Amino acid sequence: MSSVERFIVVLLFDGVDLLDVTGPPEVFALLRRETDDATGYHVVLAAETMDPVTTSAGVRVLPDLTFREAATRAIDTLMVPGSVEVDDQRRVRALTDPTVVRWVQTLAGRARRIASVCVGAHLLAAAGLLDGKRATTHWSTARQLAAEHPSIEVDADPIFIRDQDVWTGAGITACLDLSLALVAEDFGEAVALRIARQLVMYLKRPSGQSQFSVPIEPVSTTRRMDELRHHVSRHLADRLTVADLAEHAHVSERQLTRIFKTELGTTPAAYLESARVEAARNRLESTDDTLERVATACGFHTTDTLIRAFRRKLDTTPTEYRNRFRHSA
């Protein structure tokens, strides 16, 4: 390893998401193929011991060195993947092993910058590395992160966020976007773009950095909210208003707003728009319906309204979204 190479440590621990671990090294490895000089990255996998680590996919991975050995080195980038558990109702919860958290704290003190992948943000948070910072994680655990760490400004929409020397990434495949951003910072966007082309992906996703997901199924704690959500899903094509929902729930509009804020952390109007965008997203992926038909079926009624909603929620247009995510026949 030459002295100019950047030393990157990727954490390993039992149950870790496999792509969180293997995705970033694939991006960094392509740097050598796309540049003529000798600079680049030296990536190692570190674990508590040198025993094989079993990932969430059941694949066993061998570490290159232990956490203790890594702590004796000057680390350019510490990459922290995550792990989750899923209950019998398919609810996802991020896990934070106390031993791993302690090593994150130790190794972070040796690192120039720190980056979490997907739910790895929960480990950074437990280590106190996100206090007072803006951060993202996978949308399915964003509410958990915000509830457990109120000092963090959690934003579930971006693919990745940089706050000073700490980076946080969103969904599992967003580790590639995050890694490309790290390459762009180190070697420039032209090099990162060449790597993106090798990966057959965008250097930046069209029109912004959204996760391209609208989570509209948060857990409700009351039957009334569950019934309201089902009512919305059954009547998306109707001209539903907040007043309509309030009348259906037999409450005032003000009380309905309080219920949505308490139960789902959003407003009735924002929830309606999210539900309609999600329905439109599914139609764009799975049908050849025109934008006019999609807009009508999902309650937008005009293509202009549909386009504006997509820009607000997904930072893209319906046409751009369909071009990327349309299912093959």
Residue 160 bridge partners (DSSP): 169
Q: How far apart are CA 40 and CA 29, in angstroms?
A: 8
Pairing of strands 166-169, 111-116: parallel
Distance, CA of 64 to CA of 42 (rounded, Å): 12
**Phi, psi at residue 263, to the nearest 5°?**
-80, -45
Reduce the DSSP state of residue 65 to 3 states and report it: strand
- Identify whether 298 is a catalytic site residue: no
From the candidates 45, 118, 124, 192, which is the catalytic residue?
Answer: 118
Residue 175 DSSP symbol: H
Q: Is 111 exposed, middle or buried, given 0-12, 13-18 or 19+ CB atoms closer than 10 A? A: buried
Burial 171-209 (b: 16+ CB within 10 A, else e): bbebbbbbbbbbbbebbeeebbbbbbeeeeeebbbbeeb
The DSSP H or E segment spanning 80 is strand 75-80
Angle separating helix axes 253-264 and 223-234, nearest 10 degrees: 100
Quick one: which H or E segment has residue 84?
Answer: strand 84-86
Q: Is 131 exposed, middle or buried (0-12, 13-18, 19+ CB in 10 A)?
A: exposed
CB within 8 A of 256, min separation 6: which ones? 242, 245, 246, 249, 268
Q: How many CA atoms lie within 13 A of 308 on its CB side?
A: 7
b/e per residue, 25-35, with b = 16+ CB within 10 A? bbbbebbeebe
Look-up of token digits 């966020």: 161
Catalytic residue IDs: 118
